Every structure is written in C-alpha cells, then in structure tokens.
C-alpha cells in the first residue's frame, strides 16, 4: 500500500511538472496586406508554455510589445484598436491532440480560448511541434477577424486593413525549472 501511495505521489509530481517547456521570447507577428497599406507587427517577448504530459498549452503577451515599422501605427494600434491601456494582455490557453514523437516534426490539433481586447473566443488550429534534445519548437498560424474581438475599424481606414488578419506564432521553449 505504501508503495502504491508513493507511486501516486510520484505520478502526480511528474504529471504536474514533469514535461513543461517554457519560453519568454516567443514570437507572434501579424500582417495585413492591402493595395493601400501594408501593416506588419512583431512581438518577440511572448511567454509560452507547453505541458507535454497534460497536453496543455498557454500563451501570454503584452500588446504594447508589438513593434510596427511606423511609430504612429503602433500608437494607433495601442490607443484606438486594442486599447492596451484597458486590456494590456492577450492570452491563449488550450489543449492539443496528437502524439509528440521526439526528433521529428509532429502535426497537432490545438483547441482553446483566445483572450483579446477583453473578448474570449474559441479557436481551433493546427500546429507543428518538434521536440529535439531538450528543446521544443512550435509553429502555428491563425486568421483573426478584428470585429470578432469588438475591435471596430472606422470606414475611413477600412480599405487599408484586411478583413482577416494573418497571425503567425513561433516558439522555441526550454524545459521549465
């Protein structure tokens, strides 16, 4: 019996923290391409964590860390669109399905909740996860519609911003702890 208990506690210990990979320098970028204006922004201070045993995944980023080529665009993004003073963060939490085989690129299905501009939305997407001696890399892409997150785009600039914004995510994580 004592052995069983030990196994339970050990199992709990390992499942809870055994295979968590984390990064503080993940990258999330988005772009919108229209004949009038190309908009591109990148955030290289994205926090991400992947728990391989629980198959859960989490992201957190500060919206003001998105860098634009034009300073004014960056200001408008923060002030008028995502209102980063009111909603400083965007987060994602979810689970993935699919086996992670070390040493090769694995395609997984990701399902979770994205929080942006105070609005939570269910998201499903695919990602590739590669596990290579002590480091986990992952890539994914999303298409987001600003209006889904209550981000209104005024008529005067509507033609300058794509209806769907392409978002690219790339992380390179190390084991936590």
In the complex, which residues of this chain contact another protein (CB under 8 A)?
1, 4-5, 7-12, 15-16, 20, 22, 24, 47-49, 51, 54, 56-60, 62, 64, 69-72, 75-76, 78-80, 83, 85-86, 89, 91, 93-95, 112, 154, 156-157, 160, 176
Complex with another protein: residue 25 or 128, whichever CB lies closer: 25
Q: Supply the minimum distance, in Å, between the C-beta of residue 102 and another protein.
A: 21
Encode burial over 119-130: b for 16+ CB neighbours within 10 A, e otherwise.
eeeeeebebebb
Complex with another protein: residue 4 or 103, whichever CB lies closer: 4
Query: Residue 87: in which H helix or E strand, if any?
Result: none
Distance CA 145, CA 123 (A): 12
Complex with another protein: residue 8 or 104, whichever CB lies closer: 8
Could you tell me if 30 and 165 are in contact, meaning their C-beta atoms sit under 8 angstroms apart? yes
Q: How far apart, in Å, do the first and last CA atoms of the chain sit?
A: 31
């Amino acid at each position: 019996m004592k052995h069983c208990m030990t196994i339970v506690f050990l199992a709990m210990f390992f499942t809870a923290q055994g295979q968590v990979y984390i990064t503080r320098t993940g990258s999330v970028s988005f772009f919108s391409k229209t004949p009038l204006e190309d908009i591109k922004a990148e955030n290289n201070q994205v926090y991400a964590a992947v728990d391989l045993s629980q198959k859960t995944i989490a992201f957190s980023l500060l919206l003001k860390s998105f860098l634009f080529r034009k300073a004014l665009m960056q200001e408008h993004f923060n002030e008028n669109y995502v209102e980063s003073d009111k909603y400083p963060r965007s987060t994602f939490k979810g689970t993935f399905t699919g086996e992670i085989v070390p040493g090769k690129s694995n395609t997984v299905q990701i399902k979770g909740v994205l929080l942006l501009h105070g609005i939570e939305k269910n998201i499903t997407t695919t990602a590739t996860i590669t596990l290579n001696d002590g480091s986990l890399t992952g890539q994914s892409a999303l298409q987001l519609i600003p209006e889904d997150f209550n981000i209104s785009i005024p008529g005067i600039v509507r033609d300058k911003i794509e209806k769907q914004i392409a978002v690219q995510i790339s992380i390179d994580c190390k084991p936590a702890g």
